[in-house]
Structure formats: C-alpha cells, structure tokens
Amino acid sequence: MTEPTTDSLTKLFDELFSKTLNTILVRGDDEPIYLPADSENPQHRVIFAHGFFASALHEISHWCVAGERRRLLVDFGYWYKPDGRTAEEQAEFEMVEVKPQALEWMLSEAAGHKFHFSADNLGSDIGASELFKNKVFRQVQDYLLEGIPERPASLINAFQQYYGTEPLAPERFSLKGR
C-alpha cells in the first residue's frame, strides 16, 4: 500500500478535475477556504489548511457536496461560525456536516488514512455528538447501498488504485472506537 501524502492527493485531485471542472487542490497556510475562479486566478481552488491530509479530505468533501451554483461562491456561500459555538449553534453546524463528513470518511478509507469526526469547535468542550456520528455512519451506509455521487466516486476509485486499498464495503465502516 502506498503511503497517503498531500502531494499525491493534490496530484490525483488535479488530474481528475483541473481540466474537467477547472478546479485544483491547493496547500494553504492558514484557514481552509474554497475560492472560485476570478480575474486573477483562472481556476477554482479548494484550499486546505497547513498541509494537513485530513484538512484536504474535508475540504474536498465539501466541494463534492456543493452544486454547480455554490461552486461559484466563496466557501460555497455557507454559514460558518468559528470556534466557541453554543450547543444550539453546534447542532446547526452538525446538520450541514453529515454528508461532507460521510464522504470524508469514505475518501479516508479509500486513501488508507484514519478518519476522525470533526466537531470543528476547538474553543469549546462540545465535541461531535453521538447523534451526529450515527447520522454520518448512516449516510455512509446509504451512499454505499444507493450509489456514491460522481465526483467522490471518481476520487475513491483513483485513491483505491493509487494507494492500493480495498473496495469500500459497508462492513468496513464502524462506530466502535470512534
């Protein structure tokens, strides 16, 4: 099995999407962000934080969920409240994170990289809830049974070939120990 790196991840992503969807994956220095093409940058950019593999997969997952119109907006036009969310704000955050984190989990498995649920709320002791973890797990199972959308499916296939991982199957996913 080939060790997953951000360099290989960037190469695979760009090979698939730089020409077909005019989108590239970029290692950023600070906060992750999605930036659509503009007068200074002819390509859309999925920018991940600090060279972290997990950040790249997470941002790719959001890109995979975003529709064509949202991919023309900075950060897909989504609401975002930084660290220190209340329990109510965290619940709202978790509602929009189910599909992206389900895809991130699947991409992580395909790349041979350990997946961690993200509450993205470092300024608080509110972590990912059990309800949220269960919803993400159920979404993974739904994708595996009903079909994975085209963009993440093509990435999963490329990852499995490049990293030498096994095909995704429902039994590969479990909430035990997470």
> Cβ neighbours of residue 132 under 8 Å, at least 6 residues apart?
94, 97, 98, 117, 119
> What is the value of pTM for the model shown?
0.91
Question: What pairing do the DSSP bridges indicate for beta strands 44-48 and 23-27?
Answer: parallel
pLDDT at 81: 58
**Beta pairing partners, 23:** 44
pLDDT at 84: 63
pLDDT at 172: 92
Tens of pLDDT, residue by residue, the chain (178 residues)? 889 999 999 999 999 999 999 999 999 988 899 999 999 999 999 999 999 999 999 999 999 999 999 999 999 987 665 666 666 766 677 778 899 999 999 999 999 999 998 866 444 455 677 888 999 999 999 999 999 999 999 999 999 999 999 999 999 999 987 7
Residue the block writes with tokens 């989504």: 78
Enumerate the domain spans of the chain: 6-172
b/e per residue, 134-158, with b = 16+ CB within 10 A?
ebbbebbeebbeeebeebbbbbbeb
